[in-house]
Structure 1
Amino acid sequence: MRRFLFAAFLFAAVLALLAMPQARADLRILSSPGGYVGDYLQAFARVRQSGERVIIDGPCLSACTLVLSTIPSNRICVTRRAVLGFHAPRVVDRVTGRSSRAPEATRIVVNSYPARVRAWIKKRGGLSQKLILLRGRELASLYPRC
Structure 2
Amino acid sequence: MTLLLSGSLNATGRLSWGKEKMKLSAGMLVAVLVLGGVGAGHATVRITDDQGGRIGDYLDKYQRLRDAGELIVVDGVCLGACTIMLATMQRDRICLTSNAKFGFRAAWDIGSNGQRVTNHQATELLYSMFPLEIKHWIAQQGGLTPETIILQGDELQRLYRLCPGDAHVIDLGDHHG
* Counterpart code for 1:66: I
**RMSD of aligned residue pairs (Cα, Å):** 2.1
* Counterpart code for 1:38: G
SS at match of 1:59: strand
Give the percent of matched residue pairs that are identical in Structure 1 and Structure 2: 38
In structure 1, runs of 5+ residues without a counterpart are 1-5, 7-21
Residue in structure 1 matched with residue 107 of structure 2 by the alignment: 89
* Counterpart code for 1:63: A
* Counterpart code for 1:121: I
Tell me, in whole angstroms, the C-alpha distance in 2 between the residues paired with 1:112 and 1:86.
Answer: 13
Residue 118 of structure 2 is aligned to residue 123 of structure 1 = no
Residue in structure 1 matched with residue 118 of structure 2 by the alignment: 101
Pairwise CA distance, 1:42: 1.7
Q: How does 1:1-146 map to 2 (within 5 A)?
A: 22=39, 24-92=42-110, 97-146=114-163
Pairwise CA distance, 1:44: 1.1
Q: Deviations over 1:72-112 (max 9, x none)?
A: 1111111100000000101235x874432222221111110
| More displaced stretch, 108-117 vs 39-48 | 39-48
Q: Which has the higher helix share?
A: 1
Q: Deviations over 1:14-66 (max 9, x none)?
A: xxxxxxxx572111101101112222222112101110011100000111111
In structure 2, runs of 5+ residues without a counterpart are 1-16, 18-38, 164-177
SS at match of 1:57: strand
Q: TM-score, normalised by structure 2?
A: 0.66
Residue in structure 1 matched with residue 173 of structure 2 by the alignment: none
Residue in structure 1 matched with residue 172 of structure 2 by the alignment: none
Tell me, in whole angstroms, the C-alpha distance in 2 between the residues paired with 1:96 and 1:44.
Answer: 32
| More displaced stretch, 136-145 vs 24-33 | 24-33
* Counterpart code for 1:109: L
Tell me, in whole angstroms, the C-alpha distance in 1 between the residues paired with 2:115 and 2:147.
Answer: 18
